[in-house]
Chain A
């Protein structure tokens, strides 16, 4: 029930709101606040009750009546370690975004209806176990985004920004759709299903043709990548967020944007290991575009929202790097960053929105000394900026350092450069912004700014920052939940290509330098990848490409001591409902 309520409640509230007459001006806000607050409680409950010890999906529910029986489309929801934290984060951000949407004056009712639809779509997209609804909910959340930017947006570039963000995101979603359809068609007609666990199981048993993987994986990688502002398809993001109303920017940059990453982790990487092997080296290089290039661009920004937007693009690079590393530490770290960045982006945009509302400008050089005038907002902004440059204590540090540890074995040079981006470039633009916005003497113009005075106004900021600190201090709250699911994904993604044979050949080719410290015990994963970029690609190519003909034991070499893996399940008895990841009906 919890999960179904969490997803459906915003929709129901939105439908209900449309019947509220125009005269009741206060009602929409109150309804939206109550709904998202309830969503927050449900999200916390879901997170709390989630059993980290169990692999597979929990809280699985099918919403009756939604979907098309004839086509095999069911609205099935469920959570595992990957999305449970994202749902919690989404619920928190949705509540905070509703709280700070108070400055919406005109057509408030329509705004809150759209905000609720967006919230429901976001949560639905992350909770869906059905490929159709996974995509459908995302689109459902995207459309309100465009409308909100177009109608309630700000700045001179509003129209261009709306145009651009619509074009880009639709394009990305379209490419991803092609990929997903192609993926669907790879299953034989009599076994086709939209059920993600069933699809996962099918491809775990019957590996997709390598040729198909090499074509479908990039479609998903770039399609989803565009949605996450993968370099060089990132220019929509800073501009779009600069023009978006605060609540929309919070929800999109914080939560909806993570959909692309979620899709990569959930669908692309585990289902197409060979495609992943071939393309993730490219992803690792492109992520440097995000981390270094967009970081440098952020240094030059004169507008606070553009700075936050660019930094948000830069942060996505760390997630890409974590995914590209394709090992347990990297993927877990990537998920942690997704959650941490969601909270961080939300609090940053909320603060810049507050400053804009007070000063009617976001030009960094025009501000100054604001810490004296608005101490609470100033302190919150300082904390957000410090979290943004990866300071320990905030969850971002946990995720970023995990990604570095995970990626170091696979892409040492890229990792070193990414460290530079995180420690130096990030710190430069964040501290510069703090210096010129908050420090220094207070200009005459801002002598009558008002701080966030009462507890109620401070609440959204406090909740977001508190969650960041909580997960930063106690990362196991997240990682223990993420790890079992990430393990499954990593095991599938490393199904066969990086066998011993392959790595021996890599050493012989001499392409990748000396093998290091051969006495080291081989860990189950990351496999014995040697020193050098793209070793996995070389390994794959050297190993002769496809491995369809090999036996399953060879394709899925289970590390010793590892038990009930994906590949070991008895595939015969499980039907469409009883799916491989051990569905547990907790409710």
Chain B
């Protein structure tokens, strides 16, 4: 078998698994799980094999099949294989594989296991498609399919109204972003006549002003896609609700991989954003910064363990987008990678806790889990420290590069630097709060007394993910990305290191002072309205409910009213009525009275004669 066939196999294995499960093994949990896990693990092994044989640098290799060809629109179905792709392949299949295995333990007692694994495999297929896509439309296709699998998995427990609502909300919010994305794609295609990434890149190198005055708009429209998928402000509202899905789904889709797709896409098309006449990057940087700050603030006042992690994910995604905005895609991808490891680990750890406590998610009903669940505790702690950015854990290196990039005078801004450091402080604060309340101190409910460590099918994935979370800074990942996307702007690392370390220390000190052995949250009393606002997510949902959704509703109501009363009512019945009136008028003439007929006859004859002779 030729080496080029391998990526195709890696891509389509999960689809085959999904189809196979749906058609044949939906009722059989072992076989369903086996197919799904087998597909992704095999994909992981094949990816490693491919990299081992082929190395990291087959940039010129693209395997292509024509998907649609109607001149002048040409859409390929092609696989692009550069270091960026290959690394993402490893993350998706590796982290995904661990989560698949973990799911087998977590979902063991659910009657819908078959459907669950079919959904997971469909997701893996779509995500791999995004990673490997070599053109815009293919990317968009898988982009939508990822949205679909997210919809299916968030709404996995569809009989719960909250889960059903959350899945609908996620899909629709993503669609809002995709609307802009599609317009961006149309614009790019109209300008360049091609959808192919490399061709566009070549064209832009030849003529950086090809987009002319549309450069900023095109960049921002494309960015819309990332805003939806990576849940950036103002479309961030769907991600916390997405936690209604099973916890492994939250780990895989809404923390490690899918939400990172937006950032990945921005790095993939970075050549379109970083143009001389484009101001798109500035907007992107600020949107990322605002998201990071908002989400971190909200996270400090959440009590649901998964929601804290969800807002933390939002905040970290904000970091990545911020990094892209300050023209540093390599650090963004680096942070994406390390974040995938430790955030997946955090969610799986949270899942382990939730599993042990019989679906209790309130951290104020936990406590003292340190000794009850040692494996979960230690891995969770390591992942938290990595997220806070404690050296020499993986998160330290990646976050440090982003903070350093914000100082860069060319693209950075002092305000962005302050923002990034502030968010680092908040990150340490809310993660310390979470760990201190949930794992330390006294037991806060009876459920804790019966808690015990999860089975090994769930703890092994935790241990496996802990390794890269700890040591992710030493694998040369940064160099790999730097080689393709351009080296990070170094030279400010000292300042960044000092600032971020300071942030970690202060953040931890605050949290320790407030939450050591605390039985309830002291912060609402101290901060008052701000804490209240943070707890209510700064009222974004209410705001959208009152504006965007209301507006669409009113438009629909008006259209419906118009349809019923004007178009169908007045016009149709009016036409009907007019015809009938005409008929009645004619009936007046048909009197049956001979004299009337004679009169009409003479009259008509006179008229005809007038026209024939008189004129």
- Residues of A participating in the B interface, judged by any CB pair closer than 8 Å: 164, 167, 232, 234-235, 239, 293-294, 296-297, 299-300, 328-329, 332-333, 369, 371-372, 386, 391-393, 397-398, 401-402, 404-406, 408-409, 415-416, 419-420, 423-425, 427-428, 431-432, 434-435, 438-442, 475-476, 479-480, 483, 516-517, 520-521, 523-524
> 13 more A-B contacts (CB under 8 A) besides A393-B145, A408-B190, A431-B171?
A164-B572, A234-B567, A296-B559, A300-B560, A328-B70, A329-B70, A371-B158, A392-B142, A402-B70, A427-B172, A476-B66, A476-B67, A476-B69
Cβ-defined contact, B158 with A439, below 8 A: yes
Cβ-defined contact, A440 with B193, below 8 A: no
Question: Is B471 an interface position by the 8 A CB rule?
Answer: no
The answer, among B137, B171, B210, B556, for a CB contact under 8 Å with A401, is: B137
Measured CA separation A21–B562 after assembly (Å): 51
The answer to whether residues A392 and B145 also contact, given A439-B155, A517-B212 and a CB cut-off of 8 A, is: yes
Question: Is B72 an interface position by the 8 A CB rule?
Answer: yes
Residues of A within 8 A of B557 (CB): 300
A310: nearest chain-B partner, CB-CB: B563
Question: Is B141 an interface position by the 8 A CB rule?
Answer: yes
Instruction: Report B203 CB to chain A, min CB distance, Å.
Output: 11
The answer to whether residues A424 and B69 also contact, given A300-B560, A440-B161 and a CB cut-off of 8 A, is: no
Cβ-defined contact, B159 with A439, below 8 A: yes
Cβ-defined contact, B73 with A329, below 8 A: yes
Question: Is B168 an interface position by the 8 A CB rule?
Answer: yes
Residues of B within 8 A of A442 (CB): 159
Question: Is B71 an interface position by the 8 A CB rule?
Answer: yes
Question: Interface digits, B131-160 against A, CB 8 Å rule (1 contact, 0 not)?
Answer: 000000100111011001000000100111
Cβ-defined contact, A372 with B159, below 8 A: yes
Residues of B within 8 A of A517 (CB): 191, 210, 212
B210: nearest chain-A partner, CB-CB: A517
Residues of B within 8 A of A423 (CB): 175, 178-179, 182
Instruction: Report A422 CB to chain B, min CB distance, Å.
Output: 9
Residues of A within 8 A of B159 (CB): 369, 372, 439-442
Contact sample, A vs B, 13 pairs, CB 8 Å cutoff: A296-B552, A296-B556, A296-B559, A300-B560, A408-B186, A419-B179, A419-B182, A428-B552, A431-B172, A435-B165, A516-B191, A521-B193, A524-B71
Measured CA separation A386–B168 after assembly (Å): 12
Instruction: Report A481 CB to chain B, min CB distance, Å.
Output: 11
Cβ-defined contact, A483 with B70, below 8 A: yes
Residues of A within 8 A of B183 (CB): 416, 419
Which 8 residue pairs of A and B lie closest in terms of their CB atoms, listed nearest first? A439-B164, A296-B559, A300-B560, A392-B141, A235-B568, A299-B556, A296-B556, A439-B158
Cβ-defined contact, B186 with A415, below 8 A: yes
Instruction: Report B507 CB to chain A, min CB distance, Å.
Output: 40
| Segment 373-400 of B: residues with Cβ below 8 Å from A | none
Question: Interface digits, B53-84 against A, CB 8 Å rule (1 contact, 0 not)?
Answer: 00000000000001111111100000000000
Measured CA separation A144–B172 after assembly (Å): 41
Instruction: Report B28 CB to chain A, min CB distance, Å.
Output: 15
Q: Which of A297, A409, A432, A475 has the most CB of B within 10 A?
A: A297
Question: Is B555 an interface position by the 8 A CB rule?
Answer: yes
Question: Is B176 an interface position by the 8 A CB rule?
Answer: yes
Measured CA separation A76–B176 after assembly (Å): 49
Measured CA separation A332–B572 after assembly (Å): 34
The answer, among A235, A369, A475, for a CB contact under 8 Å with B563, is: A235
Cβ-defined contact, B556 with A405, below 8 A: no
Measured CA separation A476–B65 after assembly (Å): 11
Instruction: Report A323 CB to chain B, min CB distance, Å.
Output: 15
The answer to whether residues A232 and B560 also contact, given A405-B189, A424-B172 and a CB cut-off of 8 A, is: no
Measured CA separation A428–B168 after assembly (Å): 9
Residues of A within 8 A of B202 (CB): none
The answer, among B68, B144, B576, for a CB contact under 8 Å with A398, is: B68
Measured CA separation A274–B241 after assembly (Å): 54
The answer, among A420, A438, A479, for a CB contact under 8 Å with B70, is: A479
| Segment 555-583 of B: residues with Cβ below 8 Å from A | 555-560, 562-563, 567-568, 571-572, 576
The answer to whether residues A420 and B179 also contact, given A235-B572, A517-B212 and a CB cut-off of 8 A, is: yes
Measured CA separation A67–B66 after assembly (Å): 45
Residues of A within 8 A of B73 (CB): 329, 402, 405-406
The answer, among A420, A431, A438, for a CB contact under 8 Å with B158, is: A438
A520: nearest chain-B partner, CB-CB: B193
Residues of B within 8 A of A167 (CB): 576
Instruction: Report A261 CB to chain B, min CB distance, Å.
Output: 18
Measured CA separation A419–B562 after assembly (Å): 23
Cβ-defined contact, A428 with B67, below 8 A: no
Instruction: Report A294 CB to chain B, min CB distance, Å.
Output: 8
The answer to whether residues A428 and B186 also contact, given A293-B559, A372-B159, A435-B165 and a CB cut-off of 8 A, is: no
Residues of A within 8 A of B189 (CB): 405, 408
Instruction: Report B535 CB to chain A, min CB distance, Å.
Output: 27
Cβ-defined contact, B571 with A232, below 8 A: yes
The answer to whether residues A435 and B168 also contact, given A328-B70, A404-B182, A423-B175 and a CB cut-off of 8 A, is: yes
Residues of B within 8 A of A392 (CB): 140-142, 144-145
Measured CA separation A402–B182 after assembly (Å): 12
Cβ-defined contact, B567 with A232, below 8 A: yes
A431: nearest chain-B partner, CB-CB: B168
Residues of B within 8 A of A296 (CB): 552, 555-556, 558-560
Measured CA separation A299–B576 after assembly (Å): 28
Measured CA separation A391–B562 after assembly (Å): 30
Residues of B within 8 A of A332 (CB): 70
Measured CA separation A239–B573 after assembly (Å): 14
Instruction: Report A253 CB to chain B, min CB distance, Å.
Output: 18
Instruction: Report A574 CB to chain B, min CB distance, Å.
Output: 28
Instruction: Report A123 CB to chain B, min CB distance, Å.
Output: 26
Instruction: Report B342 CB to chain A, min CB distance, Å.
Output: 32
Instruction: Report B237 CB to chain A, min CB distance, Å.
Output: 16
Measured CA separation A420–B551 after assembly (Å): 14
Question: Interface digits, B440-467 against A, CB 8 Å rule (1 contact, 0 not)?
Answer: 0000000000000000000000000000
The answer to whether residues A391 and B559 also contact, given A423-B175, A432-B168, A475-B67 and a CB cut-off of 8 A, is: no
Instruction: Report B208 CB to chain A, min CB distance, Å.
Output: 14
Measured CA separation A296–B551 after assembly (Å): 11
Cβ-defined contact, B179 with A424, below 8 A: yes
Measured CA separation A369–B155 after assembly (Å): 12
Residues of A within 8 A of B182 (CB): 404, 419, 423
Residues of A within 8 A of B191 (CB): 516-517, 520
Residues of A within 8 A of B553 (CB): 299
Measured CA separation A163–B237 after assembly (Å): 48
The answer to whether residues A479 and B68 also contact, given A391-B144, A423-B178, A438-B158 and a CB cut-off of 8 A, is: yes
Residues of A within 8 A of B190 (CB): 408-409, 516
B192: nearest chain-A partner, CB-CB: A520
Residues of B within 8 A of A232 (CB): 567, 571
Residues of A within 8 A of B144 (CB): 391-392, 397
Measured CA separation A441–B193 after assembly (Å): 50
Residues of B within 8 A of A333 (CB): 70
Residues of B within 8 A of A398 (CB): 68
Residues of A within 8 A of B175 (CB): 423-424, 427
Measured CA separation A397–B138 after assembly (Å): 12
Residues of A within 8 A of B193 (CB): 520-521, 523
Residues of B within 8 A of A432 (CB): 168
Measured CA separation A300–B178 after assembly (Å): 24
Cβ-defined contact, B164 with A440, below 8 A: yes
Instruction: Report A179 CB to chain B, min CB distance, Å.
Output: 20
Measured CA separation A318–B178 after assembly (Å): 18
Residues of A within 8 A of B137 (CB): 401
Instruction: Report A169 CB to chain B, min CB distance, Å.
Output: 13
Q: Which of A405, A409, A416, A442 has the most CB of B within 10 A?
A: A405
Measured CA separation A432–B71 after assembly (Å): 37
Measured CA separation A262–B164 after assembly (Å): 40
Q: Which of B67, B145, B158 has the most CB of A within 10 A?
A: B158
The answer, among B70, B179, B556, for a CB contact under 8 Å with A297, is: B556
B172: nearest chain-A partner, CB-CB: A427
